[in-house]
Structure formats: C-alpha cells, structure tokens
Amino acid sequence: MQRLSEIQARFRDAIVHGETSGISDALIGGCHPEKRLAIHQRNYEVSLTGALLTKFPAIQWLLGTRFLTEVARRFIRECAPRVPCIAEYGSDFPDFIGQCASQLPYVRDFARLEWFVGKAAIAVDQPAVDLNAFSQIESLLDTFVTMQTSVEYLHTRWPIDELMTTYLTDEAPDQFEMTPTDVWIEIRGARGEFQWCRLEEEEFIFRQSLWQGSSIGDAAERALDTNARFDPGRALPSVLNAGLVTALRQTNEEQSDGNR
C-alpha cells in the first residue's frame, strides 16, 4: 500500500509533468477520473503561464506572445513553485528566458530588470534615517546599514534601461541598436510606483556593498579599489538623502543574503 507522501508526490508529478503512470490506481470514484485530473493539469498550466505573462509584459513585447507562452509552459514544468505565494513565483524565469533566447544576449538582463521593477512597484518603503542619526555613532567605518526592501542593483553589459524606456513610453524608433556597454542600475519603488537610474561604477559598488551587508568602511574600500578618486564623504550622505537607509547598527546580525 502506498504511503500518503508517495501518493502526494505522484499527484504532483501528474499535475506538473503529466506523468500519470504511477497514479492510475489512485484515481477512483465516479466516471472517468482521469478527466478530472486533466482539469487540474490544465488549471496548473493556464494559471501559472498567465501569471508569468502578466509579470513580464515587456519581455512579451520584445519576444512575442507565442514564443514567451511556450517558454513559460516549459518553465512551469521544469521549475514548479516552491513557495505558496504566487506573487513570488518567477524569480528564476529571467535565467530560463536567457537560455531559451540565447541568440539575444541581452534578454536575460532585460528580464531581470523587469522582475526588479515589478518587485519595487509593490514594495512598501519604511521610514528613512537622516544625517542626524550619525551623531550617536561611535565608529562610522564599522557601522552597518539596513536598506529599503524596494531597492535592487543590476550591473549589465547592455543598455537595457534604454530599451525598457522605449517599451514604457510606447515609442517605435526606426532603429534601436543594442551596443555592448557597461551599465550600473539602481532600481527602487513603492506603492505602485518605480524608478531607476544609472550610477557610476564606484557609486554602484558602494551602494550595492551596503545593500549586501558590508560595513560602511568595507563598502568604501571596495569603491576606492574601483576608483581611487571616490569620495565616501559625499557618497554616504547621498545614500541617506535619497531615503535608502532605514536603520544604522554596529553589528551585522541583519546581513542580507549574498545572493541578492
């Protein structure tokens, strides 16, 4: 007799992958139980495919509905949801799209930018600290910061921000040339709004390092390694004045995930 966990695993395989050979004996009750299973299979495919297309309209605009729909169907079979919240599903989709459209090397990063923009738009900003908070800090270089959850950083070798602007403004230029060039982008937003801007490489390194959990001193050192003329004394107030920092601390117990 099959254990419940085995039956559940086989039902999952039947829904996600269409593999019904190991579950036929469990399909009982009523007429044609396999047809009832087919309803669940269709609902799984249609709902998740629709969710991905909704989250990546710019990619759909770029690659076409037919192509992206087929890629989404493949993705949901190979990468089933791992969390119950459908809003969190799709973080791995940009990498998958990049593999499926490898002839367009900028597609992966363009999809990542769209994913970050979508996340930023539904975020809720927390109250930001100001420069007065530093008056109680004993060792500035050893201080860590907590950044707004809406902030994301993306380094790409393509002008994907310009391509995204073209999509959002509904412009149709006669020609759009994707010339390789390093671009460092900061994305943020809240409550249905979003924005992004290009940063200089050293400023990007400084802000991203803070966001990843480095101390102010370590973040400044990394930026100085990139450009010896980097000025931490100007860069840190700029971060605070932008409302990006929500807390200061002397320990790193809230260090962010390095995979962010």
d(CA 83, CA 89): 7
pLDDT digits (tens, 9 = 90+) for 98-138: 999 999 999 999 999 999 999 999 898 899 998 888 777 77
In the sheet that holds 193-198, the strands lie side by side as 152-156, 183-190, 193-198
pTM to 2 decimal places: 0.85
* Per-residue pLDDT tens digits of the chain, which is 260 residues long: 567 667 677 767 777 777 666 666 666 665 666 676 777 778 888 999 999 999 999 999 999 999 999 999 999 989 888 888 888 899 999 999 999 999 999 999 999 999 999 999 989 889 999 888 877 777 888 999 999 999 999 999 999 999 999 999 987 777 788 999 999 999 999 888 899 999 999 999 999 999 999 999 999 999 999 999 999 999 999 999 999 999 998 877 655 444 45
Q: Where are the domains of the chain?
A: 1-104, 105-260
User: How, if at all, do strands 144-147 and 152-156 pair?
Assistant: unpaired
